[in-house]
């Protein structure tokens, strides 16, 4: 009896599931896809392939990333409880350094693009928050699952975390930042961050 | 009959002076069973289940609970509680040793190997080793009462061992879309509600936890190689080493990327390992 009612209660869910498929590519997916396509077309653009154009190429990719990533939100979540103790100037300084590091890391990955297929696997929206699931098929016959976590603002959806194979970037940095601050100090963290960014 | 025969010889091996060999076999198998994000994990495995229409999880707003000033972080943040690390000084030491091990030995060997054998060949070799390890995954599916994936693993084994030419190819995935289920005993224990306890960074083998180390030893008993008594020990260690070199050759640059992006590579690797394992356990 119990199992029957369970099945019945699932009927509307299953039905709505079926109907939902055509509209799967909702706004968040659409916007992530736009940004990704823009980057891929820049990387694969034959007129930008030349070594002398690499600076221009990088600029274009960076601009595409800036349009979609919410660097401040990423910085806030990564510093977590340490964020609230910072002054506005400190917050700006930190966000700028952190975004440089993230952009560089992300850029290296993007620049290594060699024809991998990007599949959009679905999204889930909960109010102003959403997750966009992406699968990357590599030439080495492996699949990499990526989840973009996005937040709605007035002018679109913005990425506040990227999770690769279950490893959230923000969580990973939060653990590192917290460990460094507890061992030394916030100033020390900023020093390390600045040194890392300056290295390249 | 053959089963009882194996049991007898197993007993024979554990007793007596063969215990040294036994330890060597255990360590040899630890080689390929321990997932080491960055440099020994055979590949970044398939994360979500095969069905592309799977709805992504919606998690409730969460708190980054750290002391009195909790920060409300709504959305899909999913903070994973960091893993305990009482052995940190020792673990850090081994981290440095492993770092050198990678850059001075593993990477040069794997790079040289990659220069000789083209990528498709190395992918086939990886497929072969993956196929041989089917019993580990299948048994753990069973232990997690996951009959569907047990069936999938069995089907994959049958298809890939035959049509896939002894496992060198993966028609089960390519043609029938049956994907490999990444399951091991550490995950089985995790699915029973057992936490990782604490982080252990083994020399040579890399990141693990108390639970996953126990899991790896458990998986050893599920590996067919364990029971191939007549197999000389050197062959066993050799195979495990070769598998690791082959896998590393397909992952060159991943560990470097992690280091490049990190402010504290040790903490970054520890956390990535922990998050990765937690996700694997939750996935099921």
Residues B41-72 have pLDDT tens digits of 333 233 333 333 333 443 434 444 343 334 44
Does A140 contact B170 at a Cβ distance shorter than 8 Å? no
Chain center to CA of B87: 22
Does B79 contact A17 at a Cβ distance shorter than 8 Å? no
pLDDT at B245 (0 to 100): 96
Does A122 contact B264 at a Cβ distance shorter than 8 Å? no
Measured distance CA(B236)–CA(B109) in Å, rounded: 19
Using an 8 Å CB-CB cutoff, list chain B residues near A157: none
Euclidean distance between the first and the last CA atom of chain A, given in angstroms as a whole number: 66
Residue B215 has pLDDT above 90, yes or no: yes
Does B52 contact A119 at a Cβ distance shorter than 8 Å? yes
Give the residue on A whose Cα is nearest the Cα of B69: A81
Measured distance CA(B34)–CA(B212) in Å, rounded: 8
Does A174 contact B79 at a Cβ distance shorter than 8 Å? yes
Give the residue on B whose Cα is nearest the Cα of A195: B263
Query: What are phi and psi for residue B262, nearest 5 degrees?
Result: -95, 150
Residue B283 has pLDDT above 70, yes or no: yes
Which one of B55, B92, B164, B249 would you mutate to disrupt binding with A, by most A Cβ within 10 Å of its Cβ?
B55
Using an 8 Å CB-CB cutoff, list chain A residues near B89: none
More confident residue, A171 or B44: A171
Confidence of residue A138 (pLDDT cuts 50, 70, 90): confident
Residue B117 has pLDDT above 50, yes or no: yes
Query: What are phi and psi for residue B164, nearest 5 degrees?
Result: -85, 15
Using an 8 Å CB-CB cutoff, list chain B residues near A149: 75-77
Give the residue on B whose Cα is nearest the Cα of A103: B261
Nearest to B53 among A21, A173, A178 (CB): A21
Nearest to B76 among A84, A139, A149 (CB): A149
Using an 8 Å CB-CB cutoff, list chain A residues near B79: 171, 174
A1-5, A178-182, B221-225, range with greatest mean pLDDT: A178-182
Measured distance CA(A42)–CA(A59) in Å, rounded: 10
pLDDT at B37 (0 to 100): 38
More confident residue, A186 or B21: A186
Residue B217 has pLDDT above 80, yes or no: yes
Using an 8 Å CB-CB cutoff, list chain B residues near A21: 53
Confidence of residue A60 (pLDDT cuts 50, 70, 90): confident
Find the angle CA(B91)-CA(B136)-CA(B225) to the nearest 5 degrees.
90
Average pLDDT on A2-21 reads 44
Share of chain B above pLDDT 70, in %: 69
pLDDT at B224 (0 to 100): 73
pLDDT at A112 (0 to 100): 77
Size of interface A-B (CB pairs under 8 A): 144
Give the residue on B whose Cα is nearest the Cα of A137: B46
Q: How many CB atoms lie within 10 A of CB B203?
A: 12
Average pLDDT on A55-60 reads 84
Measured distance CA(B29)–CA(B126) in Å, rounded: 16
């Amino acid at each position: 009896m119990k199992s029957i009612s369970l099945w019945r209660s699932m009927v509307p869910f299953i039905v709505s599931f079926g109907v939902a498929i055509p509209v799967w590519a909702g706004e968040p997916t659409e916007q992530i896809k736009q940004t990704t396509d823009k980057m891929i077309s820049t990387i694969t653009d034959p007129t930008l392939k030349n070594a002398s154009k690499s600076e221009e190429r990088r600029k274009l990719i960076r601009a595409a990333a800036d349009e979609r990533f919410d660097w401040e939100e990423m910085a806030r979540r990564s510093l977590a409880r340490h964020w609230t103790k910072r002054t506005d100037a400190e917050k700006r300084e930190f966000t700028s350094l952190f975004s440089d590091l993230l952009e560089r890391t992300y850029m290296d990955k993007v620049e290594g693009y060699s024809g991998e297929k990007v599949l959009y696997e679905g999204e889930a929206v909960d109010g102003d928050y959403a997750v966009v699931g992406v699968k990357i098929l590599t030439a080495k016959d492996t699949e990499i699952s990526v989840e973009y976590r996005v937040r709605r603002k007035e002018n679109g959806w913005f990425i506040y975390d990227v999770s690769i194979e279950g490893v959230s970037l923000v969580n990973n940095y939060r653990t590192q930042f917290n460990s460094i601050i507890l061992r030394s100090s916030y100033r020390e963290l900023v020093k390390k961050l600045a040194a890392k960014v300056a290295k390249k | 009959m053959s089963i009882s025969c194996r049991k007898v010889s197993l007993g024979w091996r554990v007793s007596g002076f063969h215990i040294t060999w036994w330890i060597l076999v255990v360590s040899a198998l630890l080689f390929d069973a321990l997932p080491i994000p960055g440099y020994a994990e055979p590949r970044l495995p398939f994360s979500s289940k095969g069905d592309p229409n799977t709805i992504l999880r919606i998690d409730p707003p969460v708190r980054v609970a750290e002391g009195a000033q909790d920060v409300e972080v709504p959305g899909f943040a999913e903070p994973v509680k960091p893993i305990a690390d009482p052995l940190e000084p020792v673990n850090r030491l081994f981290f440095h040793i492993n770092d050198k091990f990678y850059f001075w030995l593993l990477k040069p060997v794997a790079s040289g190997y990659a220069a000789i054998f083209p990528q498709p060949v190395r992918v086939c070799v990886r497929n072969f080793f993956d196929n041989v390890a089917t019993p580990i995954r299948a048994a753990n599916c069973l232990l997690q009462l996951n009959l569907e994936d047990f069936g999938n693993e069995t089907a994959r084994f049958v298809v890939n061992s035959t049509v896939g030419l002894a496992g060198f190819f993966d028609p089960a995935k390519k043609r029938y879309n049956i994907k490999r289920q990444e399951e091991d005993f550490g995950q089985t224990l995790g699915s029973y509600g057992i936490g990782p306890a604490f982080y252990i960074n083994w020399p040579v083998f890399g990141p693990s936890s108390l639970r996953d180390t126990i899991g790896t030893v458990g998986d050893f008993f599920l590996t067919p190689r364990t029971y191939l008594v007549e197999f000389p020990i050197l062959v066993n260690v050799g195979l495990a080493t070769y598998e690791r070199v082959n896998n590393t050759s397909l992952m060159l640059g991943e560990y470097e990327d992690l280091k490049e992006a990190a402010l504290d590579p040790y903490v970054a690797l520890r956390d990535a390992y922990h998050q990765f394992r937690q996700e694997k356990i939750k996935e099921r």
